[in-house]
Amino acid sequence: MPNKIPEQNPRKVVIVPCSGIGKTYGTVSREAAYEITEAVRPEATQLVALSLLVLGDESARAAVAANPAVTIDGCKLACATKMVQESGGQVVQDFAVLDVYRRYKQFRPKGIAELNEGGQQLARALAEEVAAVVDEVEGGQHG
Amino acid sequence: MTKFLETSVDKFIFKVATDCYYNEEGVWARAEGDKVRIGLSDFLQQRSGDVAFAELKPEGTELSFGDEVAVIETIKVDIALSSPISGTVVQVNPAMEDAPEAINQDPYGEGWLAEIEASDWEAERSKLLDPEAYFARMKAEAENEVKK
């Protein structure tokens, strides 16, 4: 009986949001990351916490090294993008919350622990933009 | 070419252009021909944070000294800026519509806000701080903020 070839885990796009606390835009980045990984494209994405990369967590580093990454930065320090790159990952697209907000002026984010309605809408809009990138990456992989 | 007074406070470096006059909140005014260009000082833009949107009074608006000339929305705050001079807005920087981050990137250059045809620049200039006076004020403010 021939050996069964083990199925390989399909590659998933890694989503790495900002880990900044006490800032509205950091919260928007994380809400968008939850939205994309839990609701919009759960089958095609996985969330990796920036703090794990900072700590040098092996599984987190392995995930970004083996998969394309989309980063969502809350400010121009761009910690998520820099950390993925330093961890050996390939950033296929980096999003800055402020740039996205400029495209959706009607969704004004406020709040830190809890976002207002504008912030939640902005997070959803950002998640949709990330989804478009994920679809492109997936299309490239499967096509 | 513009020269600057410069100081370091904590990890920040602040520049004050020596060819401008300043109101107390940090809006600069620079005479250019028969117009006066206005904008945010380096200290004001750094303290306010990354600019998301800048809304200027439209061209043709007549302003008195101290009237609101712009509202800036940043990632931290909304600030209403008062005009450092009286006159008529003759041009709004087109970059404010599409790329207001110019305020952060080049506050004394590409990030200017508007050009105003001044009613009486020579007289009103005396109400403003010269670069040295603003530099001293700004430095004291910056040092106070670091202590907080």
CA–CA gap between residue A143 and residue A130 (Å, rounded): 19
Decide if A102 touches B, using CB distance below 8 A: yes
Cβ distance of A98 and B53 shorter than 8 Å: no
Q: What is the 3-state secondary structure (H, E, C) of B25-85?
A: CCEEEEEECCEEEEEECHHHHHHHCCEEEEEECCCCCEECCCCEEEEEEECCCEEEEECCC
- Please tell me the predicted confidence (pLDDT) of residue B146: 83
Confidence bin at A11 (pLDDT 50/70/90): confident
Position B147 pLDDT exceeds 90: no
A24 vs B contacts (CB less than 8 Å): 75
Which residues 111-140 of A have a C-beta within 8 angstroms of B? none
- Please tell me the predicted confidence (pLDDT) of residue A5: 45
**Tens digit of pLDDT for each residue in A15-38?**
999 998 888 999 999 999 999 999
- pTM, two decimal places: 0.83
C-alpha angle A62-A66-A69 in degrees, rounded to nearest 5: 100
> Quick check: helix, strand or coil at residue A60?
helix
What is the average per-residue pLDDT within A129-141?
91
Determine which of B48, B53, B75, B103 to mutate to test the interface with A (most A C-beta atoms within 10 Å): B75
